[in-house]
Structure 1
Amino acid sequence: MEKSATKLLVVDDDPALRQLLADYLNKQGYDTLLAPDATDLEARITRYSPALLVLDRMLPGGDGAEACRRLRERGEDLPVILLTARDETVDRIIGLESGADDYLGKPFDPRELLARIEAVLRRKSGPSALVKDAPVSFGPFTFDTKARTLHRGSEPVRLTGGEFNLLEALLRNAGKPLSRERLLALARDDEAGERNDRAIDIAILRLRRAIEDDPKQPRWIQTVWGIGYRFAPLAGDDTAQDPPAQP
């Protein structure tokens, strides 16, 4: 899925929160559209064709859960994440019964919202076409997301679950710089427990040791300074090469 073309519609009556989420999600590569209420919500959806709707439960002049219910009744299957200042079980049930795909109580960390957005989009759209139906080859390697294997020629390359997820995320977004936060969201390994930026760096180092001829001068997994990492599969693509290793 091309994240540069992925639109999100955020509907919330708090202007500070709307702007915070727009700034954060745009930094992660999304195109974030904003609205203060659910007025003409269907018209906005038709006009902008967002991939996902982030919808506040308590809106001036209306209820987000009810707006979600009306969308579902009219056949709209747009993924919806409800936000609310209430975090009680009954409110979660009401939100999910309205047809929402997920539910997040306020206050929340924007990174958690990002992780939930990524998870909902993965469930809705399935694997990227890049790695959906057939193994992907780069250099001497064959990456098979269906079999969850990586081979160098005929020899298997052993990866942990988290490393496999990370390589898949990089391949799906080949050529695009991805921040560490974005990689954390894309490559979540539920069995690995909590991850952080340092864990991403360590996993990148291990992947480089597994697939690079010279991990200190990586060909495939390149550092993009000030942002994060990218996978560069195209021959002659040397625009983000790492600097010489420090002694």
Structure 2
Amino acid sequence: MLDDVTISQPAAAPRLTRADGSPLRILVVDDEASLTDLLSMALRYEGWDVKSANGGQEALSTAREWKPDAMVLDVMMPDLDGLQVLGRLRQNNDDTPVLFLTAKDSVEDRVTGLTAGGDDYVTKPFSLEEVVARLRGLIRRSQISVSEAGDSRIVVGDLVLDEESYEVARAGRPIELTATEFELLRFLMRNPRRVLSKAQILDRVWSYDFGGKSSVVEIYISYLRKKIDAGETPMIHTVRGVGYVIKPTS
């Protein structure tokens, strides 16, 4: 329902495009046509190319054929719900950044969505400005950045992150990360031995004020630990009441 949406004039921001300068492709999925129309209008205002789908099956076929750069995906839909759609995308090695729209606001629901492979979420009621801001953050995190210094590698102990090839390895062991995990690890590794607060991480990695919902940081730190520290001496440490720090093991 449109009662779930607040309309406000978004602040001017640099236009985001694909690497070749063409418009970004955004797929909006919701079974309420009035809502998809409103979201599509707001996203086209950003200069993006937008398509919509009114159910899970249509979303999967459109994503397969059109190859969007990001998706806005409603959780509650009559045929396939958003979690099922995301699960099928990830099974097919589709790592398109996904922003969930949901009426649910419990910690368990948010954790379920993120654990399933979602990148972010907006709970209803929401503002169009918030959806645009979250999408911009997802897109920035999913794009590969090259170090201006010419050396694309960041090294902390036996952990190596290459900003140009988007590769991560520990002691020569390749590690697969999502776009958000990669950006979080990059921020930690660019600040070795420095304790970073949840607020600092939210501001740098998510590029948006989560309104105190810092549990997303804890979730993604746990993801990194499972991948980076599995079977190894831990490099990522919690400083209770302060934040997180990464440091070499020796």
Normalised to the residue count of structure 1, the TM-score between the two structures is 0.51
What corresponds to 2:37 in structure 1? 19
In structure 2, the gaps of 5 or more residues are: 1-16, 150-162, 164-205, 212-250
- 1:11 maps to a residue whose letter is V
**1:184-235 deviation per Cα after TM superposition (whole angstroms, max 9, x unaligned):** xxxx9779x9xxxxxxxxxxxxxxxxxxxxxxxxxxxxxxxxxxxxxxxxxx
| Structure 2 contact 56–80 (Cα < 8 Å) conserved | yes
Aligned counterpart in structure 1 of residue 75 of structure 2, from 49, 57, 73: 57
The equivalent residue for 1:99 is 117
Tell me, in whole angstroms, the C-alpha distance in 1 between the residues paired with 2:97 and 2:207: 22
Is there any run of 5+ residues in structure 1 with no aligned partner, and where? 136-145, 147-187, 194-247
User: RMSD of the TM alignment (CA)?
Assistant: 2.5
Asked if residue 68 in structure 1 is aligned to residue 76 in structure 2, the reply is no
Please list, as runs of the form range in 1=range in 2, the aligned pairs for 1:184-195 lying within 5 A after superposition. Answer: none
Contact 1:42 1:71 in 2 (8 A): yes
Secondary structure of 1:65's partner?
Answer: helix
Q: CA deviation at 1:126?
A: 3.2
Preserved contact between residue 104 and residue 123 of structure 2 (Cα < 8 Å): yes
**SS of structure 1 residue aligned to 2:117:** coil
Aligned pair partner of 2:141 in 123, 129, 145: 123
Counterparts of 2:147 and 2:112, CA distance in 1: 37
Which residue does 1:44 correspond to in 2? 62
Largest Rg, 1 or 2: 1
CA contact (8 A) 1:79 1:121 kept: yes
DSSP-derived class of the 1:69 partner: helix
Cα distance change of structure 1 residues 189 and 36 upon mapping to structure 2, 3 Å threshold: closer
| Distance verdict in 2 for CA 1:189–1:13, change over 3 Å | closer
Give the match for residue 30 of structure 1. Answer: 48
**Contact 2:71/2:99 (8 A) holds in 1:** yes
- Report the Cα offset of residue 43 of structure 1: 2.2
Aligned partner letter, 2:54:
P
Are the aligned partners of 2:33 and 2:54 in contact in 1 as well (CA < 8 Å)? yes
Contact in 2 for aligned 1:65/1:82 (Cα 8 Å): no
Do the aligned partners of residues 18 and 190 (structure 1) sit closer, same or farther apart at CA in structure 2, a change above 3 Å counting? closer
Superposed CA offset, 1:79-137 (max 9, x none) = 1111111111111011111110111111101111111111111111134xxxx4548xx
Kindly state the Cα deviation for residue 40 of structure 1 after the two structures are TM-superposed: 3.9
Kindly tell me the number of residue pairs found equivalent between the two proteins: 137
Among the aligned pairs, what percent are the same residue?
35
